[in-house]
Chains A and B, each alone.
Chain A
Amino acid sequence: MSDRAAFDAAYEAAPKRKSSFATMSGIELDPVYGPGEAELPGQYPYTRGIFPSMYRSKLWTMRQFAGFGSASDTNARFHQLLASGGTGLSTAFDMPTLLGRDSDDPFARGEVGKAGVAIDTVDDMATLFAGIDLRAVTTSMTINSPASVIMAMYLVVAEEQGTPRHLLGGTLQNDILKEYQAQKEYVFPPEPSVRLVTDLVAFTTREMPKWHPISISGYHIREAGSSAAQELAFTLANGFAYVEAAIAAGLDVDAFAPRLSFFFNAHIDFFEEIAKYRAARRIWARTLRDHYGATSEKSWQLKFHTQTAGVSLTAQQPEVNLARVAIEALAGVLGGTQSLHTDSYDEALALPTEKAARLALRTQQVIAEETGVANVADPLGGSWFVEALTDRLDAEAEAIFTHLRTLGGGDILPGVYAAIEEGWFQNEIADAAYRAQRAVASGEAIVVGVNGYTNGDDRSETDILYIDHAVETEQLERLAATKAARDDAAVQAALDAITEAAADPTANLMEPLITASRVRCTVGEQMQAMEKVFGTWIEPALP
């Protein structure tokens, strides 16, 4: 069968949304455009998208990230987002939780519930998802160093709600490598951390067929200051590193690769962003097939979530951010994203208010329902400009893979470890961030409201969300109550079992973590039980 005939058959077989797929003036549209020899969506190397019918079958998931204060505060925001037409949940954890520390840890002081929700034990996790049927929603959890512990707690909540593991759908960020490179929320050194990631991949591959165990994230690399090409290259390199680690652990690439997913930034340089997503799909398909020997098409298909660029938002004239977010979101959609978070206009000032979060969701709904851009797959494919930019980003990423493979003696994983240890990623990102800052300082780059068009700054009139310090006090009371009610002997036995499994490189840590979560061991206790074996990571001195 020709590529075109295969496309037509796959397109016809796919379910379609109820829509006319026509322009406002009634012109009926094809599902994709291009000359006879053109690449087609749903076919290797997937530059034009991973599905033949793209958004005609299913719009992207509108997945708004939320988390603040106590578990019950965030649970209320979840219910509100679902009621407003959101179709997936996404959880932001507070800084102590992200670093595997309990709310009563001295280091947590002042940060409990501030920039996300505080989770100490399964009891908090149960409150977070109260009244939400975990088999009916997909849940994304943005956490890395303690990802396995949080996953274990989510499994216990599902178990206590009566939902079997294999029905749970969602995504765990669990991308530790970018933490050393960009976001800096690391706890253990890179090698034991990658072992934890691999344990979780092995566990979900076996037990949770609907779960995405890693969301390989360029978002934070870009937010930390990288260029689009660096975001693309570092992220895919991290993806290849996880593939190498899982293969080395004895997993079959076609068993786990289809469950890997990606998370990219949508910054303000519209066409470069679209080219970045197109290049990412092509590079992943080529490398998984030709380098790692994947034979399943699902392994070649790069799926991704997109979030608009928080770093592009300005504190000055904050409502202008609504325009930035709309343009960035459109780039994500034209680039074929599977899910999207639109930032709220007030995020350079504080966490979003309810109104700002609703406007952000509405922006996606306008793109989806009113603009008609979801009618045709890869509408910019064949543009000389976008195709050239796609090729160029692909080539720049390949040059970086070559550098990392050289550092790693032929493989990416040891190359990534070496580059983290020498601070290479960290300095590349900081240099790029400073170049961007210099461009604004010199006036070479104009940011509206910051170094141009500055009259009318009304930020002081913007209502912002304010997290009361009482959240910390209440969370400490909740934690104390859970600790007082649990079986101390069971807690100690469960923690010892974690340490024992950590010391045995052939063991999988997931079951001991689930057991410990069930008996109400805290996040911090479980992390410390592993730290006894793994140690901690201290960043190399950076200039």
Chain B
Amino acid sequence: MNAPVRVLLAKVGLDGHDRGLRVIARMLRDGGCEVVYAGLRQTPAMIAATVVQEDVDVVGISLHNGGHLTLVPDVIAALRSQGLDTPVVIGGIIPDRDLPALTEAGVVAVLGPGASEDEVLTAIRQAAQQSH
């Protein structure tokens, strides 16, 4: 029950802005999570394959390029096609008006700029509970 939460962190698409993801990686490690850092330019299929290989509890995706409404549903579809119901949390520059569509697509939490460490850790832990 007290096994650390395993989180896959990735960026999808072409965007290279990885400051947020690298800060989140350190934050989650300091908060007791195990981080699988996939990093830049991951495709939905690569993410799904890593989830299987690494047995992760939560997928964290960072986006700063405005492509979230296309790319995030693609990731969730890739996971589901592998029979995975791993919860997906996203972070980055996400306009409020896109939140309903992302929830509809199956995203469990959206962390915007300025989200506190507590908010991030809470969102990841709650997501992990959903996956068990």
Contacts and interface: CB of A to CB of B under 8 A. Distances in A.
B22 interface: yes
B63 to A, nearest CB: 9
Interface string A434-475: 100100010000010011000000011000101101000000
B14 A96 contact: yes
Contacts of B23: 225, 430, 433-434, 437
A543 interface: yes
A185 interface: yes
Interface string B21-43: 01101110000000001011101
Interface stretch (B64-72, B79-87, B123-131): B64-72
B26 A539 contact: no
A292 to B, nearest CB: 31
Interface string A519-543: 0000000000000000000010011
Contact of A111 (B14, B40, B96): B14
Contact of A95 (B19, B65, B113): B65
Contacts of B2: none
A185 B16 CA distance: 6
Contact of B114 (A223, A430, A450): A450
A29 B99 CA distance: 56
Contacts, number: 106
Interface residues of A, number: 46
B18 A184 contact: yes
Given A350-B95, A451-B116, A114 B66 contact: yes
Contact of B95 (A311, A349, A429): A349
B22 A107 contact: no
A224 B19 contact: yes
B93 interface: yes
A107 to B, nearest CB: 6
**Looking at A109, A111, A315, A441, which has the most chain B CB atoms within 10 Å of its CB?**
A111
Nearest to B71: A110
A179 B112 CA distance: 25
A527 to B, nearest CB: 13
A108 interface: yes
Contact of A350 (B14, B71, B93): B93
Contacts of A108: 14
Contacts of B71: 109-110
B53 to A, nearest CB: 15
A505 to B, nearest CB: 28
Contacts of A542: 22, 37, 39
A373 interface: no
B14 A107 contact: yes
Interface in B55-106: 64-71, 74, 93, 95-97
Contact of A539 (B39, B65, B69): B39
Contacts of B112: 315
B65 A107 contact: no
A110 B16 contact: no
A466 B97 contact: yes
A430 B22 contact: yes
A314 interface: yes
B15 interface: yes
B95 A464 contact: yes
A314 B27 CA distance: 20
A348 B14 contact: no
B54 interface: no
A114 B95 contact: no
A315 B40 CA distance: 24
B117 A99 contact: no
Nearest to A108: B14
A467 B17 CA distance: 20
Contacts of B18: 184, 224
Contacts of A430: 19, 22-23, 26
A95 B116 contact: no
Contacts of B37: 542-543
Interface in A370-393: none
- 3 cross-chain pairs, A with B, having the tightest CB-CB distances, nearest first: A110-B70, A184-B16, A114-B66
30 contacts: A95-B14, A95-B67, A96-B14, A107-B13, A107-B14, A107-B41, A108-B14, A109-B67, A109-B70, A110-B67, A110-B70, A114-B65, A115-B64, A179-B16, A183-B16, A183-B17, A223-B19, A224-B17, A311-B19, A315-B112, A315-B114, A350-B66, A429-B19, A433-B19, A437-B23, A437-B27, A447-B114, A459-B96, A467-B66, A469-B69
Interface of A: 95-96, 98-99, 101, 107-111, 114-115, 179, 183-186, 223-225, 311, 314-316, 348-351, 429-430, 433-434, 437, 441, 447, 450-451, 459-460, 464, 466-467, 469, 539, 542-543
